[in-house]
Structure 1
Amino acid sequence: MNFVLLPFIILGLVILISSFFIVKQQTAAIIERFGRFQSIRQSGLQLKIPLVDKVAGKLSLKIQQLDVIIETKTLDDVFVRLKVSVQYKVIKLKVYDAFYKLDYPHEQITSYVFDVVRAEVPKMKLDDVFVKKDDIALAVKAELNDAMLDYGFDIIKTLVTDIDPDSQVKQAMNRINASEREKIAAQFEGDAARILIVEKAKAEAESKRLQGQGIADQRREIARGLEESVEVLNRVGINSQEASALIVVTQHYDTLQSLGEETNSNLILLPNAPQAGSNMLNDMVASFAASNQIGEAMKAAKKKKE
């Protein structure tokens, strides 16, 4: 008797167990009864009628990402490959639309991405594609939101994650970039060289100015010293001409003494006498007197002519 009931007991246990099913977190299950939509079950332990109800499918409510690679041409006839990443999710309140209205949502999203990118990129030059990639992403998102909202999908974000021109174009761009950098480096080097030349010239001019000022100060002090020496000699009864001759002779011997102190000097002194200094002074005085006479004569002639 027990052996006769055993199959029925086992069948009852199987039916009872099959009445329960589990839906994971962030997942929605679609229940159909005899092939017709019955209900949507959320996460947790759920119950269905055995042999009548079945789980037709499950949809993830998590954010998903779809990467789409598109090859298109820019305004300046450069072929470029773009990788557009679309982040989307199923709207919790529109699980029915997401499950029954679209069989292949990935293909649908891919088609819209292709359509938008191939409409936007041919309007731009290659450089603008890199600069305005965010504008392309926004255009894709706007188009997808309008199209996919009715199907129960929410487009969270679209990103242009890669822009890959043809290899020859990339090499040309790298050469252009390198040339620009070399040009800038040459300009900086030229500016630096010009600054060094200007600063060196300024330093030399300042050095000459200070040197001239030093020579002028030296001569001024020498003249002041000679004036004081003449005044001292005048006080002891020596007139100015005799005092000048004495100073010249003294400086003459001081010069000879300083030359004699140079041990490594190759200077050869020709024969000379003490009166050489006096003669030089007399010649200088005579030339000054002659110059004054000529100057006075020229002034007189000019006045007479006027």
Structure 2
Amino acid sequence: MDPLWTGCFCLQCIREKEVGVVEDLGQFKRLVKEGPSCIVWPLQSVVGRLSLRVQQLDVLCETKTKDNVFIQVGVAVQYRVVTEAAYDAWYRLTSPTSQIQAYVFDVIRSTVPRMELDEAFESKDDIAGAVLEQLQSVMKDYGYAIVNTLVTDLAPDSKVKASMNEINAARRLKEAASHQAEADKVRQVKNAEAEAEARYLSGMGVARQRMAIVQGLQSSVAEFSQEVEGATPKDVMDILLLSQYFDTLSTVGANSLILEHDPATVAKLQRQVGVSFLRDGSGKDLLS
């Protein structure tokens, strides 16, 4: 062995899901995978370690929409180092996160200004797809694979949010008022229909009641005339009218009302009712 050789073998351990970059006197030597690896120290050294796990970069970009509303767009970029291209990932980019952020800004500020605010909220997947397509085509040359991009937030100014909420609230109040008016209309129509039906049924009941009264009177007059010899239908009607008159007085008296009573009034009422009910329009006596 050369007596000037003062180097020694050194054991380096690389963690799981990592790759180490080994240099020999400042020059790239090789990549070492997870596990123990021997290097010649101090000629060689592990100058860096790259994680192979999926990482996430959160980017917040301010831009404006087609209708001149400034919004904050939050984008989450999920990426990882390609094992076979770890050399490019380590040596070709000084700051991969800054590179990714710059491309996200470029895509967001060229896509969102072509959309109105409502359209931007509806097209979050389109925005995320445009960012993903751009990053995948660019970052693969630098040893990075873009797993996915997500638009996590679209935040306009607080005043714009308040106005949007007011517009939505006014629209909902208008719809509620329309439904309330329609309900009131249906309620009124149903009440009118119920009242008309009630009046119709009440009229039917009154008509049937009067019909029953008339039939009862007819039956009573006929039976009384047959049972009492010499009694005429007119005599029977006089007795019925007199009994109805006394029933009326009894009902009115039950309500603490004071009425003057004259027997002549009964006779006069009897004559008037008899003339009205027992003669037709031509003046002919209906009971004769």
Shorter-chain-normalised TM-score: which range?
0.7 to 0.9
Query: What is the CA–CA distance in structure 1 between the aligned matches of 2:283 and 2:93, rounded to whole Å?
Result: 119
CA shift digits 1:24-78 (9 cap, x unpaired): 1111111122333222112222211222221121111111111111111211111
Query: What is the CA–CA distance in structure 1 between the aligned matches of 2:41 and 2:258, rounded to whole Å?
Result: 131
The equivalent residue for 1:6 is none
- State the AA in 1 paired with 2:232: N
Residues 239 and 61 of structure 1, relative CA distance in 2, 3 Å threshold: same
The equivalent residue for 2:18 is 27
Query: What is the CA–CA distance in structure 1 between the aligned matches of 2:277 and 2:95, rounded to whole Å?
Result: 120
Query: What is the CA–CA distance in structure 2 between the aligned matches of 1:126 and 1:180, rounded to whole Å?
Result: 18
The equivalent residue for 1:250 is 243
2:272 aligns with one of 259, 280, 289: 280
- TM-score scaled by length of structure 2: 0.87
Count of aligned pairs between the two proteins: 278
Preserved contact between residue 69 and residue 83 of structure 1 (Cα < 8 Å): yes
1:66-145 to 2 correspondence within 5 Å? 66-145=57-136
Residues 269 and 112 of structure 1, relative CA distance in 2, 3 Å threshold: farther
SS state of the match for residue 290, structure 1?
coil
CA shift digits 1:170-215 (9 cap, x unpaired): 2322222222232223223322322332222222222212211221
- Residues 171-180 or 264-273, more deviating: 264-273
- Residues 216-225 or 92-101, more deviating: 92-101
Query: What is the CA–CA distance in structure 2 between the aligned matches of 1:62 and 1:269, rounded to whole Å?
Result: 113
SS state of the match for residue 127, structure 1?
helix
Preserved contact between residue 245 and residue 277 of structure 1 (Cα < 8 Å): no
Structure 1 runs not aligned, ≥5 long: 1-11, 294-306
- Residues 33-42 or 104-113, more deviating: 33-42
Structure 2 runs not aligned, ≥5 long: 1-5
Preserved contact between residue 249 and residue 277 of structure 1 (Cα < 8 Å): no
Query: What is the CA–CA distance in structure 2 between the aligned matches of 1:270 and 1:203, rounded to whole Å?
Result: 44
Pairing 1:218–2:213 present: no
Provide the aligned C-alpha RMSD in A.
2.4
Preserved contact between residue 252 and residue 277 of structure 1 (Cα < 8 Å): no
SS state of the match for residue 49, structure 1?
strand
Preserved contact between residue 94 and residue 152 of structure 1 (Cα < 8 Å): yes
Pairing 1:58–2:30 present: no
Query: What is the CA–CA distance in structure 1 between the aligned matches of 2:79 and 2:208, rounded to whole Å?
Result: 89
- State the AA in 2 paired with 1:229: S
Pairing 1:240–2:224 present: no
- TM-score scaled by length of structure 1: 0.82
Q: Which has the higher helix share?
A: 1
